[in-house]
Amino acid sequence: MEEFPLRKFCLVLLLCLSTAAIAGSAKQIYAYKLKTIDGEPTTLAPYKGKVLLLVNVASACGYTPQYAALESVYEKYKDRGLVIVGIPANNFANQESGTEAEIKTFCNRKYHVTFPMMSKVSVKGDDETPLYRYLTDKSANPTIGGDIKWNFTKFLIARNGSPITRFEPATKPDSPEVISAIEAALK
């Protein structure tokens, strides 16, 4: 019987731990408690098996016109399994100061938003919502972690719930790099 070298053992152990960590984080993404824009308690669990694009949005920001591109991308890819989730936050220059009803009305009237919208949360600071604490945690997500710098930061989540990549606010939702990442995730 061949001896199992320590190096092979370590590689197998590392692979097993990495797989377990990915599976654990995938389950975790669906457990975070949120509220819909209408105030109903929810989680991301209804979107299991879908590709998610989570976006911290604001109604009075220079990037607010990205709502139009978000809606366009959602309409184009929703039948293939993409769900865009708008998550309002008022962390930057008071650019989302309205109530949930005001946010919903604004999004519907100005941008005809049909993708799911959540109630307002905090995406940084002492009151940061647990979902964003997880997404920005560099130890849990070394490739996408880091503080949210402004409104319209986009997190792409795989069908299995694992974070794939992050796009900063200036990257438009219909830019080639976002579209390419979405199409790869949908395959």
Active site residue ranges = 61
Q: Residue 98 half-sphere exposure, CB side, CA atoms within 13 Å? A: 15
The H or E element spanning position 86 is strand 82-88
C-alpha–C-alpha distance, residues 42 and 172, integer Å = 28
DSSP-derived 3-state class of residue 132: helix
Give me the amino acid identity at 41: P
Q: Which two tokens stand for residue 54?
A: 């989570």
Q: Residue 101 half-sphere exposure, CB side, CA atoms within 13 Å? A: 0
Distance of CA 12 to the CA centre of its chain: 31
